[in-house]
């Protein structure tokens, strides 16, 4: 496979072995000029050191350690596979499904056999994500290879998050884990090959690098998938933003994708019933200023009956946490959502003082320090009684 200088992968400029395009121009400039080009021509304030090494400046939106040998083994495994079986976590979000479909589209365009799925018993792409290209790659879990030669997981922090695809993962010849969850730690983590970097703003960051290292081009459709992962996991570029995150967004937008359409699909397509359920949830929100080591806790819940009253599917209440977290008095926001089986899916967010990832992991869930979740069999009050003492400083 060769990559023309006009392809996006070449322009991205982070293929491991001396890519054409921007990095060459940068290499010709002095270090000071390189810094200015790379960060939007703003001169560095006097007295502030240019601390980041050159390699990091032109690398993707992550700083953590995945060693070169692991990357090489991952690339070799993909290039050697007869068929590549892709998977993401159950109830996929934009980052999970977007990252998976991006690699799937890139591999298929290169003439590779690809199959993709996620392990929900009721297999359906969430309404919000039905605009994503590449869904013809998807098969129901029942039709997924029982023992894939190579299986690649995206945004999956624990093997349990594969749901019905868990057995396929256990039987896979090679299991490549592509993830950015801090709770997916190297010591206890699953997989035979692990591209796990908690400093990546999204799994899509790692998927982009994987595609680039495979020498595959990123077209508008692939970019749409990657951009959806990046924009959802950064909360529309509000969290975890670095110059490299915007660099990546710039590369993706440059393919010609329709960012305004993606915005409309993701955030402006709620059914009217969502507003009614949101109103109910906000009406019963509780503020506890002294909780979470006096950093404040705001929490509420949504019952199955709340949703049934307006025929609102479970997946439609995911966004309520983003409204509840707006309370300035609270560092921590928690929303408990009762699913169709009666279980409570708990979402927790922190503004930076409290580590909700650690708290949720302790209760059997997982996630990031500022965004995490777990499942509870107990009613909201009892679940909060378990959670409150775990809400401690980062």
Specify the stretch interacting with Mn ion by CB under 5 A; choose among 61-69, 92-100, 123-131, 250-258.
92-100
Question: Is residue 233 a contact point for Mn ion (CB under 5 A)?
Answer: yes
Least Cα distance to 348 among 310, 386, 307 occurs for 386
Residue whose CB is less far from Mn ion, 201 or 334: 201
Summarize the chain as % helix, strand, coil (round to 5).
45, 15, 40
Judged by CB under 5 A, the stretch of 9-17, 90-98, 293-301, 337-345 that binds Mn ion is 90-98
Contact status, residue 174 vs residue 150, Cβ threshold 8 Å: yes
Closer CB to Mn ion, 163 or 380, in the complex: 163
In the bound complex, what is the minimum distance in angstroms from residue 233's beta carbon to Mn ion?
5
Any idea what DSSP says for residue 289? T
User: Which stretch in 226-234, 268-276, 277-285, 337-345 sits in contact with Mn ion by CB under 5 A?
Assistant: 226-234
Structure tokens at 377: 């069999």
Question: Of these, 7, 158, 168, 203, which contacts Mn ion (CB under 5 A)?
Answer: 203
Dig out the tokens for 243 from the structure: 């110059």
Q: Does 179 bind Mn ion (CB under 5 A)?
A: no
Rule CB under 5 A: is residue 155 a binding residue for Mn ion? yes
Stretch that binds Mn ion, among 26-34, 36-44, 153-161, 166-174 (CB under 5 A): 153-161
Give the whole-angstrom CA distance, residue 233 versus residue 227.
10
State yes or no: residue 95 binds Mn ion (CB under 5 A).
yes
> Nearest approach, Cβ of 177 to Mn ion (angstroms)?
13
Q: Give the strand order in the sheet containing 286-288.
A: 286-288, 297-302, 332-338, 344-350, 371-376, 366-367
* 286-288 vs 297-302, strand pairing mode: antiparallel
Closer CB to Mn ion, residue 105 or residue 156? 156
For 105, phi then psi, to 5°, come to -65, -40
Residues in contact with Mn ion, total (CB under 5 A)? 4
Examine residue 355 and tell whether it contacts Mn ion (CB under 5 A). no
Distance CA 227, CA 213 (A): 18
Looking at beta carbons only, is 303 or 350 nearer to Mn ion? 350
Can residue 153 be called a binding residue for Mn ion (CB under 5 A)?
A: no
Q: Which stretch binds Mn ion (CB under 5 A): 39-47, 233-241, 307-315, 342-350?
A: 233-241
Judged by CB, which is closer to Mn ion: 120, or 155?
A: 155
The beta-strand segments (E) located in 197-343 are: 286-288, 297-302, 332-338
CA 116 centroid distance within chain: 17
Question: In this complex, which beta carbon is closest to Mn ion, that of residue 103 or of residue 278?
Answer: 103
For Mn ion, the binding residues (CB under 5 A) are 95, 155, 203, 233
């Amino acid at each position: 496979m060769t990559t023309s200088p006009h392809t996006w992968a070449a322009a991205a400029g982070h293929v491991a072995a001396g890519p054409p395009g921007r990095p060459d121009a940068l290499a010709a400039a002095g270090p000071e000029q390189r810094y200015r080009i790379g960060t939007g021509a703003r001169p560095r304030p006097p007295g502030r050191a240019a601390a980041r090494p050159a390699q990091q400046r032109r690398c993707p939106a992550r700083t953590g350690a995945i060693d070169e040998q692991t990357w090489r083994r991952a690339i070799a495994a993909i290039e050697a596979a007869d068929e590549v079986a892709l998977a993401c976590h159950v109830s996929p979000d934009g980052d999970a499904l977007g990252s998976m479909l991006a690699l799937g589209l890139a591999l298929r365009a290169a003439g590779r056999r690809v199959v993709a799925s996620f392990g929900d018993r009721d297999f359906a792409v969430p309404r919000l994500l039905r605009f994503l290209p590449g869904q013809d790659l998807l098969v129901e879990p029942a039709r997924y290879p029982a023992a894939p030669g190579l299986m690649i997981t995206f945004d999956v922090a624990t093997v349990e998050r594969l749901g019905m695809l868990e057995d396929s993962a256990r039987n896979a010849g090679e299991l490549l884990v592509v993830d950015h969850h801090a709770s997916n730690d190297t010591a206890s983590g699953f997989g035979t090959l692990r591209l796990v970097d908690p400093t990546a703003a999204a799994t899509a960051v790692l998927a982009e690098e994987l595609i680039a290292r495979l020498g595959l081009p990123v077209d508008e459709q692939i970019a749409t998938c990657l951009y959806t992962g990046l924009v959802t996991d950064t909360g529309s570029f509000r969290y975890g933003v670095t110059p490299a995150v915007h660099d990546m967004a710039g590369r993706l937008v440059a393919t010609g994708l329709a960012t305004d359409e993606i915005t409309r699909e993701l955030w402006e397509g709620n059914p009217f019933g969502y507003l009614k359920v949101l109103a109910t949830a906000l009406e019963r929100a509780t503020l506890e200023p002294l909780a979470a080591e006096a950093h404040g806790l705001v929490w509420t819940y949504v019952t199955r009956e709340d949703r049934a009253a307006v025929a609102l599917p479970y997946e439609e209440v995911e966004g309520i946490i983003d409204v509840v977290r707006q309370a300035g008095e609270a560092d921590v926001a928690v929303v408990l959502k009762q699913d169709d089986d009666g279980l409570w899916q708990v979402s927790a967010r922190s503004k930076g003082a409290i580590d909700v990832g650690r708290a949720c992991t302790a209760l059997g869930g997982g996630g990031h320090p500022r965004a995490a979740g777990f499942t509870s069999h107990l009613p909201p009050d009892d679940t909060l009684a378990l959670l409150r003492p775990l809400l401690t400083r980062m």
